[in-house]
Structure 1
Amino acid sequence: MDHFIVVLTENRNLGIIASAYFAEDNEGSPSLVLKEKVNTHSPEQHKKFTFTTEQLTVLAILDQITDRYLFNEFSKDTSIKQFYEKLDDQKLEDTIRPHIEAQMMACLNVLAQNPSIKIYLKDKKYSNIYKSDRLEIYPQKVDPIFYFKLDEKGINYTLKIKTETEDVSLTYKKPIVISHSPCILLIREKLYRFENTDSKKFVPFFEKSSVQIQARSVATYMKTFVAASVKNHAVNAEGFNIVTEDIKPVAKLVIAYNLQQEPILTLEFVYGTKSHLANSKSNVVVDVKEANEKYTLIKHKRDDDWEQLIIKKLLDLGLLSLEGHAYYPKGYGQPYEFYPIINWYNLNRTTLNELDVSLSDKSLDKEYYFGESSCVLNTSKDGDWYDLQMIIKIGIYDIPFLKFRKYIIAGKKEYELPDGKIFVIPEEWYSKYGDILTYAEVFGNKLRLKPIFHHLTGKKNNTNAEVLIQQNSSTVPATLKASLRPYQQQGFSWMNYLNNNGYGGILADDMGLGKTLQTITLLLNIYKPSEHNPDNTHPISEGIEGFNTSNIAASLIVMPTSLIHNWLNEFKKFAPSLKVYVYSGQKRLRSKEIGNIIRHYHVVLSSYGVIRNDIEYIKHYNFEYFILDESQYIKNPTSKIYQAVSQVECNKKLVLTGTPIENSLTDLWAQMNFVNEGLLGSLPFFKKQFVHTIEKLNNEGQKEKLQQLIAPYILRRTKEKVAKELPPVSEQVLLCDMTPEQQKVYEVEKSGIRNQLLKTFASEGIEKSTFLALQGLTKLRQIANHPKLVDEEYTGSSGKYNLILDHLNSIINEGHKVLIFSSFVKDLELIETQITKDKISYSKLTGSTTNRQKVVEDFEHDDNCKVFLISLKAGGVGLNLISADYVFLLNPWWNPAAESQAINRAHRIGQTKNVFVYRFISVGSIEEKIMRLQEHKSELANTFINSNNPFKNMGESEIKELFS
């Protein structure tokens, strides 16, 4: 019968290691026959042997010291043979042997609890082992005990092993070191395990009973070896005292430098004369005191509860734990600087003093000021300006704020005080007063600020659009051919207030709440035209007197081309007395003389493309109002459209949008800077102060400040908040199983994209990989709808299409109308093919549709037209489709705003039916992950009033996970 045994033997490459064998025990024979080495990696191959749980545990441990494991873990060579040929003593000692010895200790720990598993020592010269070579494992881990005797000759000490019953001497017993650290010793067929001791302490006593330290080395030896022994082990002392005391510790923060030579804070806990880095492992402290050649070693335990409390307090005060004992103020990325450290300390100095936490700055090459500072800002109205009185106190010094102006504007951190110390300007001063100093003007020794920038003073200000509405209600013009809803009346009042005070604004109401009507009301109030003016569609021609007799210049409204007819119809319907000129089309006048025509009208309608191309003509006329509809078109401040509209001369500006933020806060800056230039500072300033701190660092203080800055000039109402009379929207996600053939196509494509991504990440980095991921994402989205979108030859079906057509037929049979939105035109074409076969009447709107208004009217007014196929990009804005009460969204996208706009085509003012929204999602596809990530995309927009780049702010691991 074969027996499972563990054998210790000398390996020529690695030293002593343990292996598992099957051995045959022949009765009457003094030896065991080693029949076979156990396969530790795949023990199931030994089908004739049934392993116990304990044996399998041993095999799992020993598998980590096999040649195969060590080669895979520690070598880049091509073979195990080459690995051992190149293995040098230093790598073996520093890296590989410590790993082996940790596993050896783990193995003996299991065997000590399971004596039925026998362990033997094998001489490497013999193939078999003798039964007498069996080893016993002492069941408990043991510790050394030191015997120190101090007298005039010096220190004499010895070391023994302390067991439960005796102190065992090592001398002349020929111990064998099985493992160095942790130490395992074999003494006369018995294995002893030492958890916190290495073999170097034992070796001197293998051949002699004691060690003598000369008198001249006593002082050093007591402070090092003896103190360390008292700290970690049992000590029997003669000639000096060992006492245990409680010592009150103190905490110390030290400005130090990391491996990149960046300043950080290290936390130390000081017990008496000993300092310990935070989170260091030693829990016992030993102080050595000497008086008149008499030594006392004071031993005390570290107060772990107190240390952890200090660490928690520091984290609560805004420190970020880097690793172990290293800390740095939160909210700052690398490279680290010491300015935030000083700012943090000065800000929390009082609390740190209460905690008895000190700061050491000996590593700094300048003498910096650590102490209290304050800046108090007072403002007073002086005509059209605000006078700013700012008083700075730094310790004993009162310093005029003007002296700091150039430092803060330039971003300089250090200001030299009269006593030569360096004052680090607090970071909050830059965010709190940087804007003020950028826009304030100097008059003698005073700073003055224009009213539009008053919010930059940081004074508690509850002024926002809603407050302005309450304080400035306006009368609706009698010539308006509509009744405004209460919130529309309030929106008009807000715009009128901005108009009267020379400010620009952003009307950011939800789609469908009537931004167009509110704007028309404002223009009626400005021009106050007579009811008896000629029809507003009548063109100006030579000899005909102008329509605009108000002595107020015309106003320009710019929009996407597709919305011009909608605006024109709204003016005809609600304000026929306002005369409108459409500056669009191929036959438009392209001349600087266009002003001679414009001046006869109240309102000019044009498109972004026309203004971009004709800016050299348009910029010569000074408009009263310049209004942008769907103003997210100018969200990129470097675009030609933004540059063009910035050249238009006008007295006031207004923009309309349902999505003021699509990708980034930069979108908001572009639109707000257009209507109120300079309110949010320059673009570099805005990116530094707000985009970085809010989008990257999630700084709540900067969020609040930005909200306060823009609050009076932006009005945002949601349908849920103000249009409570609208019927409810019911939204439902319909999960679709892909057909087997569709699933196969999807998985093959996903695998190929993932493999290509991994290669690109490794060779070309994240930027190139992001482009590749976007391509792959689009392809997987298309397959999740129908593989035919990417493969014309595909003949199978689509689970999603089957479900779409089932629901579509049922809804049409019940007499309802349906809007079907997709990101892909080809997606709509597949649906179109099927409903044409089924003889279902439909309308269709894509980017190539030229008769946009007609297809809209056909759908709205023809009861037989039940389906409207719409591409998400072409139909996201400017459509009023309230005859529909069902909305199909065929594929999700990252920007939730795009879907909201689609839903708002049907769920808007005038809708009387309940609206049902179905989102079709293919199970197990990229669409499910998009749905989960959508939840995180709208937070930014919701905070400051949605994204078309799904990989913005995503790291490598997140992109890989997307395609997992």
Structure 2
Amino acid sequence: MTNVESVGTLQEQLLSNQEKSIPNNLGSGENNELIVVLRQYRFYKQLCIELYEASITKDGKIKNPLILTNPLDFVWKKDEPTEIKFFSGLTRFQNNPTAVKSVSDVEALKAILKNPLRLRFFYHNTEFSENIVAGSVQPVLVGSVIDGVELFVDKREDFYEVNLQIRIDGKPHKLKELKILYDYFFLISGTIHLMGNFHFLKPVQFFKKHPNGLRIHEAKYNEFQKNILTKLEDRINIFYSYLQPATEEQIKESDFNKPSERLIYLSDLNTYVIIDPVMRYGNTDIPILTKRQVYGTDDKGHLFAVKRNDQAENQFTSLLLRQHPDFEEQLQTDLKYFYLHKERFMDEDWFLNAFEEWERQGITVLGFNKLKDNKLNKNKAKVSIHVTSGTNWFNTEIDVRFGKKKVSLKQLKQSIRNKSKFVHLDDGTLGILPEEWIEKFFKYFSIGEMINETLITPKINFSAVAQMYDAEVLDTEVKKELEVFHSKFSNFDGIEEITVPETLNAALREYQKHGLNWLNFLDDYNFGGCLADDMGLGKSIQVIAFILSQRKKLQQNTNLLVVPTSLLFNWRAEVQKFAPSIKVHTVHGSDRTKGTELFDGYEIILTSYGTLVSDINYLKNYVFNYIFLDESQNIKNIESQRYQAARLLQSRNKVVITGTPIENNTQDLYGQLSFACPGLLGSKEYFRDVYSIPIDKFKERMRAMELQQKVAPFILRRTKKQVATELPEKTEMILYCEMAPEQRKVYDSYEKEFREFISDKEEEEIKKTSMHVLKGLMRLRQICNSPVLLEDEKLYADASSKIEMLMEQIESKANEHKILIFSQFVSMLNLVQKELKKRGVEYEYLTGSTRNRESVVNNFQNNENVRVFLISLKAGGTGLNLTAADYIYLIDPWWNPAVENQAIDRSYRIGQKKNVMAIRLICPGTIEEKIMKLQESKKELSGDLIRTDSSILKSVTKKDLLSLLS
């Protein structure tokens, strides 16, 4: 705490001045006015200009008291620039007795004498009083600003005589006749005239002290002229009586006979750039803002004067004045150049336009590249674009020049990629790219590929080419092609129908024929595409039919078909079933041949994605007719080895096949279409910024529609709902799940042992050992699901080709479809359940031990989050209504197809509004495949009487059993 010692001390510390005061206001009193008084400091002899408030008599004369007023009190109240400058100028001279005269003083005086408020001016007469009182100030008028100080140089025998003359309002005055007031003014008849140039002050003061002029001996005259007169000539007119105008002959025989040149010299001055305009006469440079004269010497040593081209110089000055508003004001100063702050000078909108105009006017500019820290090129970019047609692409020639310097396409792309408006030139300077072109270049490079000095854009991106390029840069052939593309690809009703190949062992549905026509249509233009029909609509048969149709077009029809390992057998079976005339060569497995020597003899080279990655070093060297990628979502990640290997392959064309072109986001689409339709979606950065982020993150509908329109011609997708009228209400198909080597090894071992057991038995013995036979059959079926189901003492790897296939199917279907999964083995359902949990897929589970059957069924039927229902065949074969599902997977085949049909009917029943797809998972080359064939050959087995494994033995012979194990 602070103790109070003195109230007076606290008063000083806590209270402001309590005296009454009134803020200064112009014209605040009825009989008061502000006046300006010029005087001289008593001891320093410097000019002082003060602002007073004076009382006024009835007849308009001032009277005491004169109250000194601070001009700063008015500055902050004013908005008009001239008024602000007026009061600021007064402040400069009101209390600054020791200031050294400067250029700024003259500029401040000019602002004061403009007198925007029309105040009266007075000057102090010290003879009346040393103080400023009404009687000691005399009124003066403000006259013109003097800009006419002239020197006359005459030759007098062995010396030169120099005299000074003042020109006021056009009239000459001898200096000795004039009164100088406070160093800056001439006082004539009660009017003050300001010397308008700071550099007048010293010559005037000198010749005022030497009223009879200055004499210079001829021995010193040259030095005097060089060091003094030439410099004075920058601001003062000097007349040489001894110097005669040049004759025509003197002009003709000298350098002055050539046209004058206009130049601009640029240089640094602290943080400013000096802009010095010069007219070159012969070899003599004359700054046009000076009053210098042009001299020459003839062959006889006689001096002569050359008249400056006033008209050309005035036009030169006018040109510069139009280029920046500051120059007009700078012209009123005594500077012999213009100037701009470096930041303002380097503003590209200014200096590029200025340089362009200077170049157009034929003005030479020197010193730009010598400015400190400056690497910019002074020239505006000149851009020329020309687009021509190539085989499968459009060729874009981009010519960007800065003056005579051409930008390489590589340097241009580097700048655009770095999002920089500056481009490096060969001379070390930086060219500035126009803002309106940066966005265009970004788009050009985003959809095109740079080959040497040409940008090639695949013709598949014709819509982007049509949008990005102005019509005048397009070659005539390009315009015609774009019109054709627009016409053909905006309306698919005009697609030519082709004849279904006779060698196809199947009748195509109408939508499948359209798919064949669509593939052929794209092929006519060498465009790839994406066949994206729903599962079960026959994508494979459309591709097979298309491969057959290629025989009419090509002699060499070798195509690469890349599929997931799990689908290798399915594709071989499909080709064998629908087109046995097609020769297929499979490149897969440890014993595969690594080389392309045999490829020419086959129409389909079938391989897996894993083998593609492993064998890419030789596969990339063969040029295929087509490359087909099935389940092409395998290459959706452009950073993956699968994608990168696929992009190295060579072919005439490419097609991707998938039921789910987009699984997670639009980036999935980019990976697949950038393979099938290179260039369609531009670079990955372009696609990410223009489509992926706006659509996936910000849900921009316009971008989504734009993307949809862009890819529509190249994606053919039909859902089951769209072609429902052509589909049977229930479609059944088989997915072959080829075992991995480890699983196959276990199966082959058990099958061999069981086959030997059966071979050693007679027919009757088999009947007697039926339990052992049934157990053997069941074990083989369990191994087809997973060797883990055997539950014997041996430890088996958790390998299951069926679970792998099932997970692939669920991941691709679960978003749009509900799925039923049946198995005879509860232990197999448990393995599937384990995998679903790993993947976060919600499911329901029903076996014989399930008590709350009704709530489980209702949850699957009504809960949209539950996508999968695992059901044991016995527990769910009858009595359930599961119409929410439209995909049914039968993991293991049953001896009696009627039991399977009952399971399928849990979904395919009254109330089902969708087309149902039933898929059986079969391991080829196993008992499962034999069971399928046995079902076909033993029609009587399909009766309802056969319901168990034991009943099958009543109708199956030893021969049948051995065939199951062959």
Bucket of the pairwise TM-score, normalised by the shorter protein: 0.3 to 0.5
TM-score (ref. length: structure 2):
0.37
User: Which structure has the larger Rg over C-alpha atoms?
Assistant: 2
Which structure has more relative contact order (CA 8 Å, sep 6+)? It is 1
TM-score (ref. length: structure 1):
0.37
